[in-house]
Amino acid sequence: MSDVTALHPGDTGLSVATGRTEALTGIAAGLAWLLAAVAAAAFDDLGDWLETQNYAIGVGVFGLSFIVLGLTGRWFPRGAAWVTRAGPWLIALGLVLTLWQLAAAKLGWLPQPFFPPPQGILEVYTFEYEELASHFLASFRLLAVGFVIGTIAGFLVGVSIGWSHKAGYWVHPVLRFIGPLPATSLLPIVFFAFPSSWSASIFLIALAAGFPVAVLTWSGVANVNTAYYDVARTLGVKPLGLIFKVAIPAALPNVFIGLFMALGAAFSALMVAELVGVKAGIGFYIQWSQGWASYANVYAALILLALLCSGSITLLFRIRDRLLSWQKGLVKW
Amino acid sequence: MVAVELRPEQPAASAGASLDIENVSHAFDLDGSVLRVLDSVSLNVEPGEFVALLGPSGCGKSTLLRLIAGLEPPRAGQLRENGQPITGPHPSRVVVFQDPTLFPWRTVWNNVALGPEAQGSLKQQRERVDATIDLVGLSQFAKAYPHQLSGGMAQRVALARALVNDPEILILDEPLGKLDSLTRLTMQSEIVSLWRSKGFTSILVTHDVEEALFLATRVVIFSERPARIKADFRVDLPYPRHRGDPRLAELRRESLALLGLAASW
């Protein structure tokens, strides 16, 4: 027994310490959030916010549940593990919420209405969730349709100029000339060239997303190790098979880098399209709220937008991890 | 589907094809100048022969293999398989390259299955794919991806990928060149027993004189570029051969002399 502990001196000590660490982290995180709740509930607001009480209750419930998770690690190890891992972040968030609460709502350090307290943002979600949801869906629809059309077109262009010299001869110069142009610079033309501002926006987003996909697909297809083609040809693979069984799978890692860049470009194009053209969507909502000086609505919408963008990238990386599971050392997200 | 019948003692004479290389010359254009790599090479290979091509590095042996595989047409001369002119690649002539060149996005099984898949006969040949992976001893790794394999295992997969097509001519372009010496010796014996059991014609390019003498029924020695045939002799030893055979040592000395290395031996 002593031999074992000598070989693994940390093992037993660590597991005991982990139980205590879990409990302590849970309690610390819980106290930080309870502090945020007390800060909200104990003093009167300087302004007129409707959700202060509900906010305090909500934050307090979170704080209590962190404590419970930390203390019940013996029965729910996954919950405790989560609290331990997220602990430092939870503590920091609790303290930030407290400070924010005091600075914005209680002490008046932050000028209103530019920096609303958390309950001000919560109020937007509880009172305007229907409107927010409809704008969110409008943005999502615009982004999804534009991105899918653009990336499919970009992929087809990339494969064709990577594969066929004739296609390369005609399409490559056009791609080089128009591709680097910021899609948004075409705004003045696009909005009268298209029948509706919606189709114009789709075009802008598709153009922005298509370019990086086309370039990276093309370079992926063009740089496939020629030995792969030799092997496939001696095994009797026909030209069409060479495209689908060799060129495209070999280019896929590149294609996904292109898709990642395309998402970023599509977000920018989406915002511009919504700020200038379409009368719906998160971007439009942000601008409209700013016009009314409802900054709480701006923050609420920004948070939704961040979720949309981050969620899209996460989804893309999930798909990539599925498709490229054969690859080593993937880029992390 | 043709059942794989293993007859270890006598080669299945019907499986191999004859190969006729007649006055083949080839050259590459390099920045305006012409690099001649093959100079009227003629060689007749009988069905079921195992011919090793030896020669100095960069003399054009591998180019000759590409012509036999049909990956490129020769500048002059003609190549014929069983009397039929070679005009392009065909699964009856499969190449195993120095690099295994496995498709990294396909599992071992799917790499081996590519040939039947391209012929549209994968449905009938699934068991054959399994059997061939088994033949090279990798059935446990059928679902592995190439990056999970060692160099020797990857080359075995490349061998299985070639053999599953039941080639009449197996073209080996220094297939063991990058393996460690132990794996190399093991795989030399494996190649001999596969060739003896299946009876295909084998064309092997190698730098290794011992490998050529251990494996082949016939050794062809090439000159410096542009390659010309300098010597062509039979290795009149029965299989399985012994690496310590004095006759092999004698042939080795002669071969090295033909390659211009007599002084070191």
Shared-domain flag, residues A157 and A281:
yes
Boundary (domain end) residue, out of A79, A110, A141:
A110
Closest of A132, A98, A103 to residue A115, by C-alpha = A103
pLDDT tops 50 at residue A14: no
**What is the rounded average pLDDT for all residues in chain B?**
85
Shared-domain flag, residues A168 and A249:
yes
For B165, which of A235, A238, A249 is closest by C-beta distance? A235
Residue type, B76: A
For residue A328, the chain B residues in CB contact (below 8 A) are 147
pLDDT tops 70 at residue A8: no
Total of domains in chain A = 2
CB B55 within 8 A of CB B219: no
CB B167 within 8 A of CB B93: yes
For residue A237, the chain B residues in CB contact (below 8 A) are 114, 118
pLDDT tens per residue across span A178-208: 888 888 788 888 888 888 888 999 999 999 9
Of A102-111, B88-97, B231-240, the least confident: B231-240
A106 touches chain B (CB under 8 A): no
Report pLDDT for A285. 92
Interface of B with A (CB under 8 A): 66, 69-71, 89-91, 93-95, 97, 99, 101, 103-107, 114-115, 117-119, 145-147, 161, 165
pLDDT band at B119, cuts 50/70/90?
confident
Find out if CATH 3.40.50.300 is the number for domain B16-101+176-264.
yes
Rounded to 5 degrees, what are φ and ψ at A206?
A: -65, -40
Shared-domain flag, residues A292 and A205:
yes
Instruction: Give the 3-state secondary structure of residue B120.
Output: coil
Does some domain include residue A331? no
Report pLDDT for B264. 59
Report pLDDT for A183. 81
pLDDT band at B3, cuts 50/70/90?
very low
Shared-domain flag, residues A15 and A57:
yes
For A235, which of B66, B104, B115 is closest by C-beta distance? B115
Shared-domain flag, residues A102 and A27:
yes
What number of other Cβ atoms are within 10 A of residue B14's Cβ? 10
Does some domain include residue A38? yes
For A227, which of B97, B147, B165 is closest by C-beta distance? B97
Shared-domain flag, residues A19 and A101:
yes
Closest of A247, A228, A233, A227 to residue B88, by C-alpha = A233
Shared-domain flag, residues A152 and A246:
yes
Does some domain include residue A152? yes
Boundary (domain end) residue, out of A58, A84, A110:
A110
Peptide linkage before A118 cis (omega within 30 of 0):
no
Average pLDDT score over residue span A41-59? 90
Chain B nearest C-alpha distance from A230 (Å):
7
pLDDT tops 80 at residue B260: no
Shared-domain flag, residues A102 and A145:
no
User: Which domain CATH number covers A203?
Assistant: 1.10.3720.10
Shared-domain flag, residues A44 and A169:
no
Shared-domain flag, residues A268 and A132:
yes
| Interchain CB distance below 8 Å, A326 and B70 | no
Shared-domain flag, residues A57 and A92:
yes
pLDDT tens per residue across span B145-167: 998 888 889 999 999 999 898 88
Shared-domain flag, residues A70 and A165:
no
pLDDT tops 50 at residue B13: no
Report pLDDT for A131. 92
| Interchain CB distance below 8 Å, B105 and A252 | yes
pLDDT tops 60 at residue A7: no
Chain A nearest C-alpha distance from B119 (Å):
7
pLDDT tens per residue across span A238-273: 989 999 999 999 999 999 999 999 999 999 999 888
Burial readout A150-189 (b: 16 or more C-beta within 10 A, e: otherwise): bbebbbebbbbbbbeeebbeebbeebeeebeeebbebbee
pLDDT band at A333, cuts 50/70/90?
low
Please name the residue ranges forming H helices in chain B: 61-69, 108-112, 114-119, 122-135, 151-163, 181-198, 209-215, 246-258
Nearest CA in chain A to B170: A234
Q: Which domain holds residue A60?
A: 2-110
